[in-house]
């Protein structure tokens, strides 16, 4: 399966390390993993273009708010890996919490 994987990929962060580990496991299982930095995209329409260009069959996002908000409204199935920021910070901010609820 060809997967789009959105994560925050800033160097030397836990998110970047986790994303690389997850990607390695997905690829070891035989999937093609198109790993992209969620901060490089501003809207779901940009992700729609990427999904088409990369011919992705499904998507995965590391972080419900940062990555998941970009996957709303697409015709491919997607999964979310919750991050600590989702649970410990973003859930306490009304606007982000609302977005996260819509993604779920």
User: Would you place residue 87 in the very low, low, confident or very high pLDDT band (cuts 50, 70, 90)?
Assistant: confident
Q: Please tell me the distance from the alpha carbon of residue 9 to that of residue 19, in angstroms, as a whole number.
A: 8
User: Would you place residue 70 in the very low, low, confident or very high pLDDT band (cuts 50, 70, 90)?
Assistant: very high
**Measuring CA to CA, which residue among 75, 1, 85, 2 is closest to residue 38?**
85
| pLDDT higher than threshold 90 for residue 44 | yes
Q: Where are the domains of the chain?
A: 2-103
- What pTM does this model have? 0.88
DSSP string over 61-92? EESTTTTGGGGTT-SS-EEEE--HHHHHTGGG
> Which fold is adopted by the domain 2-103?
Rossmann fold (3.40.50)
């Amino acid at each position: 399966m060809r997967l789009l994987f959105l994560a925050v990929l800033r160097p030397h962060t836990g998110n970047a390390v986790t994303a690389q580990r997850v990607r390695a496991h997905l690829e070891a299982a035989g999937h093609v993993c198109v790993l992209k930095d969620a901060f490089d995209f501003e809207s779901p329409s940009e992700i729609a273009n990427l999904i088409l260009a990369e011919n992705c069959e499904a998507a995965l996002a590391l972080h419900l708010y940062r990555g998941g908000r970009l996957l709303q409204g697409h015709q491919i199935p997607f999964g979310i890996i919750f991050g600590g920021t989702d649970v410990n910070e973003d859930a306490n901010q009304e606007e982000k919490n609302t977005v996260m609820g819509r993604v779920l």
